[in-house]
Structure 1
Amino acid sequence: MSDLMTEALKEAWAVCPTNLVVFETIQIDHADFDAPLRLVNDYADLTATLETAETVTFTRFAFESVGAEVNAQGLPEVVITVDGASAEIAEALDAISDSADALSVTMRTFRSDDLSAPAGRNVPGEVRNISVEDVRVTLRIGFGEIANRPFPSELYTPRRFPGLVR
């Protein structure tokens, strides 16, 4: 993480109310899953409402999320490590190991004072690599090639914007 980002986080944490808890959650989804795996980085399960107005329960699990580095390659990657992964998680990931379908991950945050919707932007990604060692599962999540995306992403055409034509 860059020094500038670290300083911004320190400043944000310094002014954060002491009675507010921010919950980090991850949702792991695959076409072969009956239901997505939903985990919260906390000591208790969390029931919260998604952006689709669906109320779901995130299962408590200790996990570490290491943010994407800023680099010139344009391929940001987040590494999530789940320690003490249950047999349920290991079996689910093992069952899809031969599948050609992508394993998607959505990262969300919720505030303890408002569980009616995620507290910020959802960060969807695709798992690039899975490593399972005993009871530790490590997921490397990619977000596509941001550097090669057109900017602005909206096309300005004369049909939509007649003022472009003289």
Structure 2
Amino acid sequence: MSSSHSSAAACPAEDRPVEAAPVKPVRHVPALTIPRVDSIGEFGLMITRQLTQCRRYGAKLAVMWLEAEAVEAAQALVPPQEQASLMTAVGRRLRSRVRGTDAVVQVGDNGFAVLLIDAGAPESEIVRHRLHQALGGSYGVGDGQLMHVRLQIGASAFPDGSTRGAELAQMARDNLRARAA
């Protein structure tokens, strides 16, 4: 073989610098962020477009309402920073447990609304059950501290419920309260 590559490999040159294997760049994975609104009304405005499309095309849509509470809050005062970290962890786990086409929004300090696209009441009940199992339990918060969360989940659906987003969210919240009673 007369190629320079094969001869260089067969007879290493003493004066050639040794090349290190190429280093792969560190892949930056952005933190999973959950949009946040302060009220049910703001969430209702966010989903107006989806509701309009559902009315136009006869599609289904479900809204789930989740409230998460630190179990430790019942025993002692949980610092606001730890409570916020816990809700961030719950939101991330929630986002990873629903489909990519579904929307997850944090509402207030400890509530979450989930918009299930092309799902009605039967599908939302299945999702509610699965989320309750997947989201309950322990969360790592801060420097190796574990916190436990108590969840309540309710649901409502279009066209069975209201045609307005805020009303659908309120119906899901009312369903949550009825299940807790």
TM-score by length of 2: 0.29
User: Per residue, is there more helix in 1 or in 2?
Assistant: 2
Which structure has the larger Rg? Answer: 2
Structure with the larger strand share: 1
Relative contact order (alpha carbons < 8 A, sep ≥ 6): 1 or 2 greater? Answer: 2
